[in-house]
Amino acid sequence: MTKISVKVPDILLPNKSVDMSKWAVVACDQYTSEPEYWEGVKKATEGSPSALNVIFPEVYLSKDNAPIIESINKTMYEYLDTGVLQSIGEGFVLIERSTPITPKRLGLVMAVDLEDYSFVREDKANIRATEGTVVERIPPRVKIREHAPIELPHIMLLIDDRNKSVIEPLYENRDKLTKLYDFDLNMNGGHLRGWHVTDTAPVEKALAKLLDEDVLKEKYGSTDEVMLFAVGDGNHSLATAKACWNNLKATLSAEEQKNHPARYALVEVMNLHDEGLEFEPIFRSVFNVDTADFLDGLYKAVKDSGLKCDYKCYTYTTNDGRKDLMLPSNAAVAVGLVQDFIDAYIKSHAGSEVDYVHGEDSLKQVTDAAPNRVAITLPPLAKNDLFDYVLKVGAFPRKTFSMGEAFEKRYYVEARKIIK
């Protein structure tokens, strides 16, 4: 069979006494400028075992993270030792997620081989990053994972399954599967249902079929480049898992490397063509700047680029409100243009920073929270362009797109041991 880079994982879930609505929390890289959101999560999960206690919300990252990381690792062991987390056995987990704006989207939790992942284009890996990877972001995350006994994923991989042959047949026959959970998500996250998929062979066969030469030629016009999975969300988490594996691998024999649990990463796989999957732009909010100077420079950079700018976005400041900003309709080009300007500005203006914000309401809220901030909206990415672009060009500029709004992001539910 064609190599599909998949491992059938031994899944851990909370025991039946745990309130799942308090267990599951949204991805740690969301609401990074809104500490009030995470204070709300604390209140919503109070008094119950919760994934909140074994993740590190990035809003709290600081220069001295060691005490929090130590507490997270300790709690992970406690949840294992006291049976809060228990094995349901090997298999995949079929997921149905609904949100306040999306009636249904499907996913499939499985493990993938980190040996087949790379964010370096030249590696031509089977699992590839879709955005530019900021290598400086990896070491702080390594410190969180390197001594952890378990992982909880917010990584979401995409497959280009135009015939809906992998995940959708499982959902059509979900009544034949064992239901694992069915509950409302906290903080307006919608609803989540999950089923245990113990017969994984049909899924693995369908994934392999996506790599058949005739299928690849029909989709991309060539078989020169082969990629089964594109990272939709959580690229820096996957890069962190790879870095930790590389560090550990150096201490293992070739035989020990073959099936070590740390060689794999738990992920949720989604079909790019799921009607419930929407790509949203990721906006910028720039802090601690002379707003007039920043905006003058930005508009000049856009004008001087000579690019065709036919998509109406806008900038926003608390004092002056909105001002139209015409950008290229091609999301990759527009994001590259704006991000290059922001990066250069921050480099030459000490103390200025940028945050990446999902949704216009949050963008305004974050920008209004303090003086000297500028908001910038950007065009959306057409999701059907994703695989073709990554195969032929490479990764998009960082933070080009988001799979849905912040409250639609993956919630931590399943876990897996990454130690022997």
Domain edges within the chain: 6-278+409-417, 279-403
Average confidence (pLDDT) over 365-392:
94
Confirm if 167 and 108 have CB atoms less than 8 A apart: yes
CA 296 to chain centre: 34
Per-residue pLDDT tens for 166-203? 999 999 999 999 999 999 999 999 999 999 999 999 99
Portion of the chain with pLDDT greater than 70, in percent: 100
* Mean pLDDT (whole number) for 353-363: 93
Evaluated on CA atoms 117, 120, 125, 128, the torsion sign reads positive
Q: What is the pLDDT of residue 418?
A: 98
Task: Write the CA distances from 345 to 156, 298, 316, 338, integer angstroms.
Answer: 32, 9, 17, 11
Residue 332 pLDDT greater than 80, yes or no: yes
* Residue whose entry in the numeric block shows the structure tokens 């790879």: 242
The pTM (predicted TM-score) of the whole model is: 0.91
Give the closest residue to 372 by CA, choosing from 310, 318, 313.
318
pLDDT at residue 232 above 90? yes
> Mean pLDDT, to the nearest integer, of 1-28?
94
pLDDT of residue 2: 63
User: What confidence tens digit (pLDDT) does each residue in 126-146 have?
Assistant: 999 998 888 888 998 999 999
Among 275-279, 319-323, 327-331, 397-401, which stretch is predicted with the lowest mean pLDDT?
Answer: 397-401
Q: How many C-beta neighbours within 10 Å does residue 385 have? A: 14
Average pLDDT over residues 41-46: 98
> By the 8 A CB rule, do 76 and 151 touch?
no
Cα–Cα dist 342/345, whole Å = 5
Give the pLDDT band (50/70/90) at residue 114. very high
Q: Residues of the chain with pLDDT > 90: what percent?
A: 89
Q: What is the pLDDT of residue 136?
A: 86
Q: Is residue 121 pLDDT above 80, yes or no?
A: no
Q: What is the pLDDT of residues 271-324, one digit of tens each?
A: 999 999 999 999 999 999 999 999 999 999 999 999 999 999 999 999 999 999
Q: Which of 36-45, 347-356, 385-394 has the weakest average pLDDT? A: 385-394
Per-residue H/E/C for the chain: CCCCCEECCEEEEECCCCCHHHHCEECCCCCCCCHHHHHHHHHHHCCCCCHHHHCCCHHHCCCCCHHHHHHHHHHHHHHHHCCCEEEEEECEEEEEEECCCCCCEEEEEEEEEHHHEECCHHHCCCEEECECCCHHHHHHHHHHHCCCCEECCCCEEEECCCCCCCCHHHHHCHHHCEEEEEEEECCCCEEEEEEEECCCHHHHHHHHHCCCHHHHHHHHCCCCCCCCEEEEECHHHHHHHHHHHHHHHCCCCHHHHHCCHHHEEEEEEEECCCCCCCEEEEEEEEECCCHHHHHHHHHHHHHHCCCCCCEEEEEEECCCEEEEEEECCCHHHHHHHHHHHHHHHHHHCCCCEEEEEECHHHHHHHHHCCCCCEEECCCCCCHHHHHHHHHHCCCECCCCEEECCHHHCCEECCEEECCC
What are the φ and ψ backbone dihedral angles of 404, each rounded to 5 degrees? 90, 180
pLDDT at 357: 93
* pLDDT value at residue 255: 97
**Separation between Cα atoms, residue 125 and residue 227, nearest integer Å:** 7
pLDDT value for 223: 84
Confidence at residue 381, expressed as pLDDT on a 0 to 100 scale: 93
Average pLDDT across the chain, whole number: 95
Rounded Cα distance between 384 and 158, Å, is: 11
**pLDDT bucket at 1, cuts 50 / 70 / 90:** very low
What's the average model confidence in pLDDT over 355-378?
Answer: 95
Half-sphere exposure of 147 (CA within 13 A, CB side): 13
Q: Which of 68, 70, 55, 60 is nearest to 24 (CA)?
A: 55
> pLDDT-based confidence at 61, cuts 50/70/90?
confident
